[in-house]
């Protein structure tokens, strides 16, 4: 039983835009300016992170058009380096990267829902063990329970068909893009500019380590541009639609993020941005008082809802692809005979993500996700170079623009980011590495199993 190609060009593009624009644009500007000091440097980080993501999208476009299979990076790493690296990617997505991303989005959703229901921020139980953020006690909040229910509700929706999930993705992406456009227009066109006499000295101190900490935050906001490749086996005309969705979707997101930050810094000073955890809400409060902040909260929740749906839709295809080749838990590869979705994989990824919601606060989660993800993103960028030599016969309907410079720059950027993230956030980084390495015994066990399908395809 195979998956069906039921996603058109609009659904593919909405997976890119809708999954990337989640909670990050509303929450991370505060962390960015606190790390780099000035609005000018914030814009530089946004542009740098956007260009790095675009270089990745250009590289991935070649791989997606050449290997339009379920699992995205799983298939690219498998073909370039062998089944071990494909498995490592699937394992990482299941336990760290995609599940952590879904959990982070769920956490962001309830942070904005607190605007309307403050009691959701209340703690209902405290576990007095060093398992919480920063090694402190682990607190469980009512809002986390709501986030868990939301994740599982979207899993249920996607269980009943990729076409349903795709239609929801298109609809919600259109709505949230319109709401973000309203916020940008309100800030730039109607927002009172902050006083020209405001202090011009940096509100916060700039450091190299701070630059990379800000870059991690920006890349979290950009994270998800690669998700459409994970559902490549369900996209119609993938050789044409996948490169277009990857490249144009990423470019649109960069433009939206830069315009949103122009609006923030038009109304707020750097010090004000650095002192408020909800930058967009504070900007709109200045323009429309209480209703403005509420409008941003609604926009943020709709945005996060779309990102959650896209992440569950795409992320569940990675463990499915590995299990189909025999390198994951038995049963994950099952396709529902009626709905033609990897139902078991959807439930497994979403269920684990729901549990991760209880693990810590927002910034701890996205640092765990970014570090683990970019190790394998860098290797996937290098797969463009490897497969040009290893598989010159491979049909390539799209070839990376600026090859080999663009993939090389992406690889170098990924390497530097990984090093500085490990330096700045060693606890989260080594937790991510530990979870990745835990997969090796499972791989060796599945590899040795009698009758293992070692070669569905030539590796």
pLDDT, one tens digit per residue, over 257-292 is 999 999 999 988 888 888 887 788 888 888 887 787
Q: Which residue has the higher pLDDT, 359 or 99?
A: 99
Instruction: Write down the pLDDT at residue 450.
Output: 45
Distances (CA, A) of 260 to 27, 88, 204: 12, 36, 21
For residue range 302-331, what is the model confidence (pLDDT) as tens digits?
A: 988 998 999 999 999 999 999 999 999 988
Q: What is the CATH number of the domain that holds 157?
A: 1.20.1740.10
Give domain status of residue 42, yes or no.
yes
Give domain status of residue 1, yes or no.
no
Token pair for 26: 């509303």
Give domain status of residue 456, yes or no.
no
Give 457's pLDDT tier (boundaries 50, 70, 90).
very low
Give 413's pLDDT tier (boundaries 50, 70, 90).
confident
H or E element in which residue 282 lies: helix 279-288
The sign of the CA dihedral 263, 227, 367, 131 is positive
Collapsed DSSP state (helix, strand, coil) of residue 70: strand
Instruction: Write down the pLDDT at residue 459.
Output: 32
Token pair for 421: 């993230």
For residue range 91-100, what is the model confidence (pLDDT) as tens digits?
A: 988 888 888 8
CB 72 within 8 A of CB 90: no
Range of the domain at 325: 9-448
Number of domains in the chain: 1
Distances (CA, A) of 283 to 133, 156, 180, 214, 232: 29, 36, 13, 21, 39
Give domain status of residue 2, yes or no.
no
Give domain status of residue 4, yes or no.
no
CB 83 within 8 A of CB 325: yes
Closest CA to 68 of 321, 403, 251, 319: 321
For residue range 180-191, what is the model confidence (pLDDT) as tens digits?
A: 999 999 989 887
Instruction: Write down the pLDDT at residue 458.
Output: 35
Q: Give percent of the chain above pLDDT 90.
A: 36
Give domain status of residue 392, yes or no.
yes
Q: Where are the alpha helices (DSSP H) in 133-275?
A: 142-159, 162-185, 208-222, 238-267, 270-275
d(CA 12, CA 3): 16
pTM: 0.85
DSSP string, 135-170: G-PEEEEHHHHHHHHHHHHHHHHHHT-HHHHHHHHH
Does 436 score more than 90 pLDDT? no
Give domain status of residue 178, yes or no.
yes
Distances (CA, A) of 237 to 61, 313, 320, 396: 14, 19, 22, 14
DSSP string, 91-133: HHHHHTHHHHHHHHHHHHHHHHHTTT-GGGG-EEEEE-STTSG
């Amino acid at each position: 039983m195979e998956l069906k190609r039921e996603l058109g060009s609009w659904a593919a593009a909405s997976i890119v835009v809708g999954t990337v624009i989640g909670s990050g644009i509303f929450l991370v500007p505060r962390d960015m300016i606190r790390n780099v000091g000035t609005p000018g440097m914030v814009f530089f980080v946004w542009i740098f992170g956007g260009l790095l993501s675009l270089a990745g999208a250009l590289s991935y476009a070649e791989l997606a058009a050449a290997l339009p299979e379920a699992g995205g990076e799983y298939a690219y790493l498998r073909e370039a380096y062998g089944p071990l690296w494909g498995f490592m990617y699937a394992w990482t997505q299941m336990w760290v990267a995609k599940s952590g991303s879904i959990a982070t989005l769920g956490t962001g959703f309830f942070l904005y829902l607190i605007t309307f229901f403050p009691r959701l921020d209340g703690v209902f139980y405290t576990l007095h063990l060093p398992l919480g953020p920063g090694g402190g006690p682990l607190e469980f909040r009512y809002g986390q329970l709501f986030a868990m229910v939301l994740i599982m509700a979207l899993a249920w929706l996607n269980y009943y068909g990729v076409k349903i999930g795709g239609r929801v993705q298109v609809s919600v992406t259109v709505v949230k893009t319109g709401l973000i456009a309203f916020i940008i227009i309100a800030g730039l066109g109607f927002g009172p500019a902050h006083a020209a006499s405001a202090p011009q000295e940096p509100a916060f101190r700039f450091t190299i380590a701070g630059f990379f900490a800000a870059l991690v935050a920006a890349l979290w906001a950009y994270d998800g541009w690669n998700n459409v490749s994970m559902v490549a086996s369900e996209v119609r005309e993938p050789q044409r639609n996948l490169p277009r969705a990857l490249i144009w979707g990423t470019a649109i997101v960069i433009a939206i993020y830069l315009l949103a930050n122009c609006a923030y810094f038009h109304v707020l000073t750097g010090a004000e941005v650095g002192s408020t955890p909800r930058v967009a809400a504070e900007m709109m409060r200045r323009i429309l008082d209480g209703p403005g902040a509420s409008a941003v909260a609604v926009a943020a929740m709709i945005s996060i809802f779309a990102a959650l749906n896209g992440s569950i839709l795409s992320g569940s295809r990675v463990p499915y692809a590995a299990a189909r080749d025999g390198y994951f838990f038995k049963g994950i590869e099952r396709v529902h005979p009626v709905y033609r979705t990897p139902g078991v994989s959807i439930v497994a990824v979403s269920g684990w993500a729901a549990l991760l919601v209880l693990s810590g606060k927002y910034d701890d989660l996205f640092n765990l996700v970014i570090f683990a993800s970019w190790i394998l993103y860098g290797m996937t960028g290098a797969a463009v170079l490897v497969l040009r030599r290893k598989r010159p016969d491979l049909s390539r309907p799209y070839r990376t623009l600026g090859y080999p410079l663009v993939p090389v720059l992406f690889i170098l950027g990924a390497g530097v980011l990984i090093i500085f993230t490990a330096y700045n956030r060693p606890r989260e980084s080594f937790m991510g590495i530990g979870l990745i390495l835990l997969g090796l015994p499972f791989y060796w066990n599945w590899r040795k199993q009698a009758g293992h399908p070692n070669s569905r395809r030539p590796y």
